[in-house]
Amino acid sequence: MTKITTNPDHPAFKSPDGSSIFDKFGYSAAVRAGDFVYAAGQIGLNPDGSIPESDSEQIRNAFDRLKIVLEAAGSSMDDVVELITYHVGIKNNLAGCVAIKADYIKAPFPTWTIIEVAGLARPELKIEIKATAYTPEK
């Protein structure tokens, strides 16, 4: 089986100096292995790289970024079979995550693992979302 990596050329994934965050940090946004697409965890940055103060804005941004990554890899939110969300302050943002997730993830629902963590890549971040999608090779 071969691995095919995908790094979207989208402004949301550029560093302030214009370089790709994937090149800067040495990882891929998504990897296709056979019929599965594995998307790296997506955080809730604004397109300009700033961090919204609102948990709900961060959650929506993370889902938007996940959607961009999956589509760049030839997949979609409808193909997600596993969803993992990492929360800082889960008591403050889980209900909002459930509501926002409903805008992106439809039945039949994927599995969903919800994990509370002490922190993420930046202290202000409240959510990170990663997914695996089943997208048969054409």
pLDDT confidence of residue 59: 98
pTM of the model: 0.95
Contact 53, 136 (CB under 8 A): no
Contact 37, 74 (CB under 8 A): yes
Residue 78: CA count within 13 A, CB half-sphere = 2
Contact 127, 55 (CB under 8 A): yes
Question: Is the bond into 47 cis (omega within 30 degrees of 0)?
Answer: no
Task: List pLDDT tens digits, range 24-79.
Answer: 889 999 999 999 999 999 999 998 889 999 999 999 999 999 999 999 999 999 99
Contact 113, 84 (CB under 8 A): yes
Residue in 64, 57, 113, 55 with CA at minimum distance from that of residue 88:
55
pLDDT confidence of residue 1: 72
Give the residue carrying structure tokens 């629902």: 109
DSSP 3-state helix, strand, coil percentages of the chain (rounded to 5)? 30, 30, 40
Kindly tell me if the per-residue pLDDT of 90 is higher than 90: yes
Domains annotated on the chain, with CATH: 3-134 (3.30.1330.40)
